Amino acid sequence: MEGEIYQKPSKGAHILVLPYPLQGHINPMLQFSKRLASKGLQVTVIITSSLSNQLLTPQTNFTSSPLEFLRIFDGFEGEPIKDDIEAYLEHLKVCISESLFELLKHYKQNNTSLHPTPKMVIYDAFMPWILEVVRKCGLEGAPFFTQSCVVNTIYYHAYNGDLSTSLRGSDLVSLPSVGSLLRVDDLPSFVSTPSLYPVALVKLLLDQFSNLKELNCLFVNTMDMLEIEVVNWMTNQWPVKTIGPCIPSTYLDKRLPDDKDYGLSLFEAQTNACIQWLDAREPASVVYISMGSMASLGNEQMGEIAKGLDKSSKYFLWVVRASEENKLPLNFKEKTSQKALIVSWCPQLEVLAHHAIGCFVTHCGWNSTLEAISLGVPMIAFPQWTDQPTNAKCIVDHWKIGVRVRVDENGFLSADEIEFCIREVMEGEFTKEIKNNATKWRHLTRQAMEEGGSSDRNIEEFVSKLLHP
C-alpha cells in the first residue's frame, strides 16, 4: 500500500473508485466520483503509480477537488512500455490486485472515523478481476463501463460467441439488443476485424463481460434517451445504472460549484491561446479537429487532412499532439497562421462550449462524442478503431447530428472529402436540421443530469442505498 495524495474529512459512507490508467477512462470516472461526493459519499479515487507520475500540474489540482486521492503501485513508475501488450496487462493485473488487496486489508485493520472501511469499490470494467479481490476482502464491487450501451451489448454478444466470425465489411448484422441492422464495419473494430489486433487487446474488451452474472450493480456512462432501446434491453436482464453523461457540471446542470474540468490531465492544454483565438472569431465559424489522446494518423493522412482544412476556407483549430507534430507538412503552421491555430492539447470542453465553434471533426471517442452532444456541436465523424465506428454510426443515423467522412478501402480520407463534409455540415442543405437535432440532444442530456432526470435518479438511488442501508 502507498500513501495518501490528498485526504479530506470523513462524511457519510466511504467508497473507492479505481479508474483504468488512460485519459479517456479517468475523465468519466472522476466526474462520476464528484457526483457521488456531491450527494454525500466520501469518495477516494485510486490513482495507480504509472498514471500518478505522468499527471501534470496545474492541470491536476488535488486540493481543490471534493475527492480524496490515494496512490497504489500498478507495477510501473512513469509511462509503461506497452510493446508486449499481453505482458503489460498481466503485470498490471497482478500488481493492482496485490496493491488493492493490501489496501483493503489495511482499511479493515485500521477502521477509523477518518478512514472508514470502504463499503464498495467501483472499478473500470476493463479490470473485471477486481471483483474477486474485493469480494475476498468481504466487500462489494461494481464495474463502470466507459463506453456506450450499444457498444457494450455488441461486446457482450461477441463474448458469448453470438456473432459470426466470417462477416465481411458490407454484411448486415442483426442483434437482438440493437433494433436497427448494423453493417459489419459499424461494429467496434475489435469485433469486425479482430485479427488486426493482439489477442490480449481483444480479450481485454470482451472480458468486461466475464463475470456479469455475479454483479449486483453496473454503471454505464450514457443516458437512457440516447440509446433507449438498448438500455431497456440491458436493464431487463442486468442491474444496469445509466449515470451519464459524465462531464463537468458547468456544461450540463451547473449544480456542482466550480466544476469546470475533469481535474486530472496527462497533457498540458494551451488554454489561453485557444480561448483568445476563438474570442476573435465569428459565431459558428470555426472547425475544431481532434483525434483524442491515443489515435495516431499516418504522415500521408495528416498531409491530406492539412490540405483539406486549408482548402475549406474556414478558420480551424487543430489539436496535433506533440508526438504527431512531425507529421504536419513542412511550415504548415506558419503558412496557415492567418486562419488556423494548431495546438498540442486544448481545453476541449471550453472549446466545444465556445460560440465560435461551428463543427467538430472527431475520431468519435465516447467522451468526445458525449461532450459534443452535451454542448450541441455538430460532428464530422472520422472513426479510427475500437468503439469509434459504432459511435459514428449513432452520430449520423440515430441522433442525426453529423456526417461521416467517406474513406477509401484503406480507410484513407481525401482532402476533397474533408472539405466537402465541412461545407455539408456548416453551410449545406442539412446544416439547419443537424443543428436543430444537436440542440435537441443537448437539452436532453442536460435534463438527464438535472434534479430528477434519469441519470440523476439512478445516482441518487445508489447513494441513498449506501447511506441508508
Question: Active-site residues: which are they?
Answer: 25, 124
Instruction: Report the candidate in 330, 221, 333, 180 with the shortest Cα–Cα distance to residue 270.
Output: 333
Least spacing, CB of residue 176 vs ligand UDP, in Å: 27
Residue 49 or 146: the one with the smaller Cβ distance to ligand UDP is 146
Which range of residues in 90-98, 293-301, 306-314, 441-449 is near ligand UDP by CB under 6 A? 293-301
Residue 103 or 302: the one with the smaller Cβ distance to ligand UDP is 302
Take residue 413 and report the three cell numbers written for it: 480520407
| Element at 26 (helix H, strand E) | helix 23-38
Q: Is residue 294 close enough to count as binding ligand UDP by CB under 6 A?
A: yes
Least spacing, CB of residue 101 vs ligand UDP, in Å: 29
Residue whose C-alpha cell reads 467538430 in the numeric block: 360
- Cβ neighbourhood burial of 285 (10 Å; 0-12, 13-18, 19+): middle
Q: What are the two backbone dihedrals, phi and then psi, of residue 378, each rounded to the nearest 5 degrees?
A: -60, 145
Instruction: Report the candidate in 142, 144, 120 with the shortest Cα–Cα distance to residue 14.
Output: 120
Return all residues near 262 (Cβ < 8 A) that are at least 6 apart.
26, 27, 30, 31, 248
Which range of residues in 201-209, 287-295, 404-412, 431-439 is near ligand UDP by CB under 6 A? 287-295
Take residue 332 and report the three cell numbers written for it: 504548415
Least spacing, CB of residue 223 vs ligand UDP, in Å: 16
Take residue 130 and report the three cell numbers written for it: 477486481
Residue 16 or 349: the one with the smaller Cβ distance to ligand UDP is 349
Residue 188 or 292: the one with the smaller Cβ distance to ligand UDP is 292
3-state secondary structure at position 316: strand
| H-assigned helices in 221-380 | 228-235, 271-279, 299-311, 332-335, 348-353, 366-374
Site for ligand UDP in 339-378 (CB under 6 A): 345-346, 348-349, 365-368, 371
User: Where would I find the beta strands (DSSP E) of 64-169?
Assistant: 68-72, 120-124, 140-145
Number of Cβ atoms within 10 Å of the Cβ of 304: 20
Least spacing, CB of residue 427 vs ligand UDP, in Å: 25
Take residue 365 and report the three cell numbers written for it: 471517442
Residue 141 or 259: the one with the smaller Cβ distance to ligand UDP is 259
DSSP state of 357: E
Tell me, by CB under 6 A, how many residues bind ligand UDP: 18
DSSP state of 329: P
Q: Mask of contacts with ligand UDP, 49-88, x by CB under 6 A?
A: ----------------------------------------
Residue 371 or 424: the one with the smaller Cβ distance to ligand UDP is 371
Are the C-beta atoms of residues 6 and 68 closer than 8 Å to each other?
yes
Site for ligand UDP in 1-30 (CB under 6 A): 23-24, 27
Least spacing, CB of residue 118 vs ligand UDP, in Å: 27
Least spacing, CB of residue 142 vs ligand UDP, in Å: 21
Q: Mask of contacts with ligand UDP, 296-325, x by CB under 6 A?
A: -----------------------x------
Binding site for ligand UDP (CB under 6 A): 23-24, 27, 290, 292-295, 319, 345-346, 348-349, 365-368, 371
